[in-house]
Every structure is written in structure tokens, then in C-alpha cells.
Structure 1
Amino acid sequence: MKRRDFLFTVPLLAALTAAPALAQDIQDRTIKFGYFVNAESPVGHGVRKFAEIVAAKSGGKLKVREFPAAQLGNENQQQSALIAGTQEMAAPGSPQLVGAVKEFGLLDFPYIVSTLPQADALLDGPFGQSLLKTLPAKGIVGLGYFENGFRHVTNSKRPVKGLADLDGLKIRVQLNPV
């Protein structure tokens, strides 16, 4: 059975930015970092590595507290919390951002990339960076992208080898119109 895959990207968002500062100039602060997948996901591992780097570079004055598995609310609630300033960071899926910037929906089209290096080139290149630059007008700052693997069409009834195999299946889908 051939899998039907497409990229699932997770923009890394922050509700604040700071000018470069020396560790001695940084005030003690805890950053709430919410995300929607479990703590053992690639995003969870990335958040913990990010927390280590932030602690080291700030001399321990900045601490990142992770909130996996939608502990801070669903994607809409967390996006609102970012904009309101009650949550500092999040890693939502690209479908969530379509409501703010419709062009993020382009990342959800199936088969636009077939390998992780292609995904990196797309997101780290001009296209991905131009998407991030649209976010400050919406009250959030995009710092970069997490990859969370490729999406797959799965079910418990039968193999999916083509469009006809989807007939009659109930499939959970993402929130945007793609």
C-alpha cells in the first residue's frame, strides 16, 4: 500500500520579541510555551531543546515552561492568548493560521513536497520567510518552523491506493478549506 503523504508544518510563534541583551541585563521571567501535540512528539523535543538554549544564554534567568497536548486550550484559544499577551509562545499547526493569514493554507496542499529537504528549502527560503513576515500585522511574531512529519490518510476499513478507495470512509480533516 502506498501512503498518501503531505507535509505537516508547525510554525513557531512568539507573542513578543526582544533586542539582543547580555545575560546580566535579563530579568527573571518564565515563558509559557503551549503546543498541541504530546510531549514526546518532535515538537515537544524541540521545545525542551529550546528551553535549554534559552536558559543557558540567559544565565538561567529565562525559563521556558512547556504546556503540551493543548493544556493551555485549543489552537484558537492559544492564538488569542498570544495576541492578548497572556501566553508568550506557541507552535500551532499551519491550518490554525489560515484564519489570520490565508496564505498559510498553501502549506497544507497535498504533494507540494515529497522529502524533508524539499520542505526545509521551501520553509527556510523566500516563500516560508515571507509567510512569517505577514504575522506581525496580526499581533504575533513567527520565529521559524517545526516539522512534525508528513500527514497520512489512514483508516481501519481498507487500504487507500487511490481516490475511489476514499468513497464511504469517514476521515477527520484539518480545519482549513484545503
Structure 2
Amino acid sequence: MKITDIKVFVCCPGRNFVTVKITTEEGFYGVGDATLNGRELAVVSYLEDHVIPCLIGKDAHQIEDIWQYSYKGAYWQNSAVRMAAIGAIDVALWDIKAKVSGLPVYQLLGGKSRKAVSVYAHVNRETIEDVLNNLETAINNGYKTVRLQCTIPGSKGTYGTLGDKKNYYE
């Protein structure tokens, strides 16, 4: 199952998120996250200039071999940029293997380790009154933990507020 294509996507908000998509000759694809906030373009360059050219034509099932090759054979030793890139490739390859086998990735890696994961809602608005009204909505939607954030009264566009957009959890 040869790797025929690897694409890197940089998307928003801003350019924060870096996603790798690996495609095989059989049409299977897997995705992995290579996000490294503040250094995302360095990760993209490392992937496109140094990693991807070496992986085209390799067997997508040889995940450990590809990981070892990427880890031991790279010039940028032990950097966050390199590890973000290798991590994305690794996860994308496991995603392919999971799709081929018809199992979720977590089953291939040893099964579930918990029954649930705690999450929180992020409520942000322009006024304290609006924040509290939306807090009630978040609680009614089942959230047990809610982060609250409000702009400084009278200012627009304070960090962490979405203006006229919805809450993160909607």
C-alpha cells in the first residue's frame, strides 16, 4: 500500500491549525495534526521540504519503520517542529491502517482507556449580563464546567470574544 500523495493544510483561526493528509495508491487516506502554535509555518516547511519527498512511494503499513526513519534520520534533532511533523505523519498512517482494518484507531492502539472525557464550554460575550445569560444556556445543555470571558466594557474585539459569532460550544 504505497503512499502516493501527502498534502499539508494550514487553516484558521488565523493560521493556527496544520493538518496532514496522506493518500495511498488504493485511495485510502489518513489525517494527522501537526499544529505547533506560533511556529506552524516552520512545521509546514519542514514537512514539505524535508519529510514528504522522502515518504512518497513508501509502504503506508510500515508505520514503525517510517517513524524510526523520520526520527533518527532527520537533521533537526529533538525539536518541537520536527516532533509535530512526525506526530502528524504517525497519526495519519494509523488512521489509514484503521480504515483498512475497519476499526477505530483506539482499538489498534490497545482499546479504550476511559468511558468518557470531561469537556468544558467557553462562554464569551460583550457584556457581563450576556455572559451570564449564555452561562445558563451552557448549563442547560449539560456542561458541568464553563469558562466565562467578557470584553472590557466599551471596547470591541477584546481577545477571546467572537463578536457577533456564536459561542465556541454552539
Q: Say whether the fold is shared (TM-score over 0.5).
A: no
Higher relative CO (Cα under 8 Å, sequence separation at least 6) belongs to 1
Structure number with greater Rg is 2
- TM-score normalised by structure 1 residue count: 0.25
- TM-score normalised by structure 2 residue count: 0.26
